[in-house]
């Protein structure tokens, strides 16, 4: 893994990632856990959903609404970020679950899971790992970009948004102008 600044991410998308991560970090410090997406097009639009982690249908509905807004503002890039608990399953599988007030179990780590999409530069996936001090205050690491092949499951944050966004791009030949 590399940091967002070390990877191949362009400056505009990296700035968008910094924006959405900063917003989510402030929410987590305030003990809120929304999903946040920042869409960048004719104008910048920030959407959040506090029920996103409730279930897959709620998450998909938010992402579908975000894709519609992306079309509406002619978005050329976006970043979605969601706080989750990562569960590492040897040898090479990672599962994710919703955050909760319960203590972490063996093999679990809190992280902000994110996906970015730039119309010209493609898709990046990553996370911002964080730990908690004994007081419960989160301490965030830098955003990491996955530099290995990722095969996202259809329940991964951003998957529905990406599919809807790409479907629109493919069906609207004038969307690139």
Q: pLDDT for 120-176, tens place per residue?
A: 888 888 999 999 998 889 999 999 988 665 566 677 787 778 787 777 665 665 544
Range of the domain at 39: 2-171
Q: How many domains does the chain have?
A: 1
Confirm whether 78 is domain-assigned: yes
Confirm whether 31 is domain-assigned: yes
Start-to-end Cα distance in the chain: 34
**Residue 84: what pLDDT?**
94
Confirm whether 176 is domain-assigned: no
Confirm whether 177 is domain-assigned: no
| d(C-alpha 130, C-alpha 81), whole Å | 14
Q: pLDDT for 18-30, tens place per residue?
A: 999 999 999 999 9
Is 79 or 98 the better-scoring residue by pLDDT?
Answer: 79
Q: pLDDT for 89-117, tens place per residue?
A: 888 788 888 888 788 988 899 999 999 99
Confirm whether 111 is domain-assigned: yes
pTM of the model: 0.85
Q: What is the residue-averaged pLDDT of the chain?
A: 86
Confirm whether 30 is domain-assigned: yes
Q: Say if residue 37's pLDDT is above 80.
A: yes
């Amino acid at each position: 893994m590399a940091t967002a600044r070390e990877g191949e991410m362009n400056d505009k998308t990296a700035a968008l990632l910094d924006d959405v991560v900063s917003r989510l970090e402030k929410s987590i410090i305030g003990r809120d856990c929304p999903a946040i997406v920042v869409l960048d097009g004719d104008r910048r639009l920030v959407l959040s959903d506090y029920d996103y982690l409730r279930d897959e249908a709620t998450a998909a509905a938010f992402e579908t609404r975000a894709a519609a807004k992306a079309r509406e503002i002619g978005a050329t890039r976006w970043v979605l970020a969601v706080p989750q608990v990562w569960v590492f399953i040897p040898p090479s599988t990672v599962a994710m679950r919703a955050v909760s007030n319960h203590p972490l179990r063996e093999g679990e780590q809190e992280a902000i899971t994110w996906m970015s999409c730039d119309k010209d530069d493609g898709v990046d996936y990553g996370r911002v790992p964080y730990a908690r001090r004994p007081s419960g205050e989160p301490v965030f690491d830098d955003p990491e970009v996955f530099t290995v092949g990722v095969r996202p499951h259809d329940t991964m944050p951003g998957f529905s948004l990406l599919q809807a966004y790409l479907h629109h791009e493919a069906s609207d030949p004038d969307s690139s102008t």
